[in-house]
Structure 1
Amino acid sequence: MIPVVDLRPWRDGDPADRAAIAAAVDRALSTAGFLLIAGHDVDPDLRSRIRCAARRFFRLPEDAKRPYAVRVGGRGWLGPGAEANSYAEGTPSPPDLKESWSFAAEEPTGDAVVDGEWFLPNVWPAEVPQLRTLVTDYLERMRALSDEVLELLAAALGGPADLFTRHTRHPTWGFNINWYPAREATGEPQPGQFRIGPHTDFGTITVLDRQNGRGGLQVFTDRWEDAPYDPAALTVNIGDLMARWTGDRWRSGRHRVLPPPAEDPAEELMSLVYFYECDPGTVVTSLPAPVGRVRYEPFDSHGYLREKLNAIALDG
């Protein structure tokens, strides 16, 4: 069961309301690792305008997009064949059937080594100048919302409000605008090929604004199921860092995006995907029992993130 969690009574409700919401969050993250978040106050018009601007870029000829091409983890265009997410869980597959424009944290810390790896400047497509203002606005909202969700997660564990946000004073994050072209553009998928292959995310939480479709998001509990959809809600799932932080009390939400459907060859979708992480140098230590279930050896958050980003990158 993936519930819809309304942030309005979480912000303004009485202790009983807040306790009920925290308990629902704990149950959901223990099973599927996913939530739907309503009452988030992220303007739907802003999301639509980002999609409209990004679509103009993605529909440009490949020659116009190629100068922006980057490898996974870079800032710019991830074209067809750039990544295969199933490699993150050790499963070879054909490349994912998508294109992305990828952004990431860029405000420097003052540490040249850290900044050179994790806080490089973003790149903006000159062909769509309005995208910069729209995305900058959206990213501010995502950062604030992500910290609010982390405080909710801390309450669900019975911890202090800053259990996680004490580690997000200067965090890394990633933001992908994922474009899933229609089957009439991609052609017949190869065996085992998806818009995004099965995987878990790598960070603390992911905040997703998605479109519904036949070739859309599926989540795995004991079997694959279509993810519930609410156009007014954002989809939130936890990643590997959070799962290990909670000692596997919560599941890193395994998911995939289905191939472009044969029964709707013109269907194209676009997702706005915000990956929240933590401060570089954070040592992730599993919460002890009775909260945690498994005691992992402490590990460096960003060493883990780099390993996973390298795993899904295709260099061919």
Structure 2
Amino acid sequence: MPEENPLKVIDLKNPDKQQIVDDLLEAAQTQGFLFIDGHDFSQKEIDELLGLSKKFFQLPTLEKAKYPIDETNKGYSCLRSEKLDLSEEAKTSGDPKEAWNFGDITFEDGKPHQDMPLLFKDPVNEKLVETVNKKLYHVILESLRYLSIGLKIEKAAGGEHWFANKNRPNEPNGSILRFLKYPSQDSFDSSTLIRAGAHTDYGTVTALFQFEGQEGLEIYANGWKKVPYISSKYPGSAPPLIVNFGDQLSYWTAGILKSTIHRVQFPESSIRDKKDRYSIVFFSHPEHDTLLEPIPSDIIRAAKGRGANNTADGDLLTARQHLDNKLNATYFRK
């Protein structure tokens, strides 16, 4: 029996633009998660991206280890090197997953700027990654534009372009395209079901590509709820993106928009079939020097400080400072 879908599905091709605004704002305020259909990704394109991800993780460990994740969040992180659940109740060891992060991206051309294995320098693979980065950038900005309309951001401050003005394509930013591999249940103690511990995301917006049979994402909304695989309404299109909102957007909106706790638990199908789980996710961050100050909107002012603490010694944090703080905790840095 199919899993019940707890998330609203928003179609960016809906001719009723006010409906998009209303639905997006409601989802952002209530659950912090939603599906976005009507994007520009084909199933073929995303299948090719998944194939590239699998090829990378099949590289010898010593080859992957030549590109360790750095202080700017680019490169390879090995098994157990990252820990997302920092609560006292969580186990002390890191999460049982591997990851590759493309970062330092210029979105005019979609190019990541970092040292990479030859696999990613192949012209066909290189073009694929660049195209995906550009499309993700635009679908995120389109979604943020609808949110800015719903939040009634003051025209004098940029209005519906407020977010775009803080996400210029070629300015230094913390955005990351991430390949993930969660090794099969055979590789670990059978009691280890959690693959990515409970956490909120650090940036503005996160977009996750779905693959059939690769479920496992769960969100916390009055208990843990599974997010199922669903298909696009458009033939030949990739499935709807799973989109959620991160800490930075919650700060900007004084907590009106939710940064929801979520985790990855190995799906029953992967346990039964003893197969690895793969995921591809995009974390959108604004320009590094962006201050995490309240959005200029009467709706936000009325919230009266409901947001999380985003100050350092009384000063507002920049997007870069906030990200650095989170990464230092995640990767056990002092």
TM-score by length of 2: 0.80
Calculate the aligned-residue CA RMSD, in Å: 2.6
Name the CA distance, whole Å, in 2 between partners of 1:141 and 1:50: 13
In the TM superposition, residue 127 of structure 1 has moved relative to its aligned partner by: 4.2
Name the CA distance, whole Å, in 2 between partners of 1:22 and 1:146: 14
Does the 8 A contact of 1:174 with 1:276 survive in 2?
A: yes
Name the CA distance, whole Å, in 1 between partners of 2:117 and 2:244: 29
Question: 2:262 — aligned with what?
Answer: 255
Question: 2:118 — aligned with what?
Answer: 126
For residue 140 of structure 1, what is the amino acid of its counterpart?
K
Structure 1 residue 154 and structure 2 residue 148: aligned? yes
Name the CA distance, whole Å, in 1 between partners of 2:289 and 2:53: 33
Question: 2:225 — aligned with what?
Answer: 225
In the TM superposition, residue 188 of structure 1 has moved relative to its aligned partner by: 1.4
| Gap runs ≥5 in structure 2 | 1-5, 154-158, 232-238
Structure 1 residue 145 and structure 2 residue 139: aligned? yes
In the TM superposition, residue 164 of structure 1 has moved relative to its aligned partner by: 1.4
Structure 1 residue 200 and structure 2 residue 225: aligned? no
Does the 8 A contact of 2:183 with 2:277 survive in 1?
A: yes
For residue 142 of structure 2, what is the amino acid of its counterpart?
E
Structure 1 residue 173 and structure 2 residue 158: aligned? no
Go from structure 1 to structure 2 and tell me whether the alpha carbon gap of 1:19 and 1:79 turns closer, same or farther (over 3 Å shift).
same
Name the CA distance, whole Å, in 1 between partners of 2:218 and 2:56: 27
Question: 1:2 — aligned with what?
Answer: 7
The count of residues paired between Structure 1 and Structure 2 equals 297
Name the CA distance, whole Å, in 1 between partners of 2:41 and 2:178: 17
In the TM superposition, residue 40 of structure 1 has moved relative to its aligned partner by: 0.4
Go from structure 1 to structure 2 and tell me whether the alpha carbon gap of 1:68 and 1:300 turns closer, same or farther (over 3 Å shift).
closer
Structure 1 residue 188 and structure 2 residue 189: aligned? yes
Per-residue displacement from partner, 1:51-75 (whole Å, max 9, x unpaired)?
Answer: 1122122123323322223246442
SS in 2 for 1:8: coil
Question: 1:97 — aligned with what?
Answer: 96
Name the CA distance, whole Å, in 2 between partners of 1:126 and 1:152: 39
Name the CA distance, whole Å, in 1 between partners of 2:95 and 2:19: 39
Does the 8 A contact of 1:173 with 1:276 survive in 2?
A: yes
SS in 2 for 1:67: coil
Name the CA distance, whole Å, in 2 between partners of 1:57 and 1:33: 31
Question: 1:21 — aligned with what?
Answer: 20
TM-score by length of 1: 0.85
In the TM superposition, residue 177 of structure 1 has moved relative to its aligned partner by: 0.6
For residue 188 of structure 2, what is the amino acid of its counterpart?
G
Structure 1 residue 236 and structure 2 residue 259: aligned? no
Name the CA distance, whole Å, in 1 between partners of 2:265 and 2:273: 13
Question: 1:311 — aligned with what?
Answer: 329
Does the 8 A contact of 1:209 with 1:235 survive in 2?
A: yes
